[in-house]
Amino acid sequence: MAAALRSGILRHLRLPVQTLDRSRSLSCLNPFHPPIRSMSSHGDDHITREEVVDRVLDVVKSFPKVDPSKVTADVHFQKDLGLDSLDNVEIVMALEEEFKLEIPDKEADKLDSCNLAIEYIANHPMAA
């Protein structure tokens, strides 16, 4: 029954199809023809691990309650920096903003050190 309903609905839907015009510049600023971002399965569009490490450390160092001289890739937010759980949430939110991604609460609760944050972001396909 669900398949029949789906087929019936799809027969009546008309969706616009946009094809890639290779002669058009990808940097076109026309709002009706936004630039097309090429996605690669080779990881070419993904940020490097070194860049992730640098940016995570910068976010943590810029946190108001943190002594920047104590921040390393191995630092634990609560044990080493004396932060509380609310501070941990704020750091995760700052990392989400920095890397333009949304970290689900279940995963965010686990990110309590620079190492774990670096691993999560370095392996996230949408991190920018």
Instruction: Give the pLDDT mean for 89-110.
Output: 95
Which of 62, 68, 67, 87 lies closest to 77, judged by CA? 87
Q: What's the domain count of the chain?
A: 1
Which of 86, 87, 39, 46 lies closest to 63, judged by CA? 87
Domain of residue 86, residue span: 49-122
pLDDT tens-digit readout, 96-105:
999 999 999 9
Positions marked active-site: 84
Does pTM top 0.75 for this prediction?
Answer: no
Domain CATH code at residue 53: 1.10.1200.10
Strand partners, 76: 113
Q: Is residue 70, in this structure, part of any structural domain at all?
A: yes
56 C-beta neighbours (distance < 10 Å), count? 27
